Amino acid sequence: MDTSDTDILDAVVVGAGFGGLFAAIRLKQSGYRFL
């Protein structure tokens, strides 16, 4: 049970990290386009 719990937690953390990074990059690109 511990392994499955940590696997789910890791997946959530990694997904959130990549999602935030992707959103920040897209926000920067759109911001530069507006400038």
Q: What is the pLDDT of residues 1-35, one digit of tens each?
A: 566 788 989 999 999 999 999 988 988 888 766 55
27 in a structural domain: yes
1 in a structural domain: no
Distance, CA of 8 to CA of 11 (rounded, Å) = 5
Domain boundaries, position 15: 8-34
| Angle, CA of 4, 6 and 10, to the nearest 5° | 115
Mean pLDDT (the chain, rounded):
83
14 in a structural domain: yes
28 in a structural domain: yes
pLDDT of residue 35: 52
pLDDT of residue 30: 81
Count structural domains, the chain. Answer: 1
pLDDT of residue 34: 57
- Rounded to a whole number of angstroms, the CA Rg of the chain reads 15
3 in a structural domain: no
Positive or negative, the Cα torsion across 12, 17, 20, 22? negative
Positive or negative, the Cα torsion across 12, 18, 21, 26? negative
The pTM of the full predicted model, rounded to 2 decimals, is 0.51
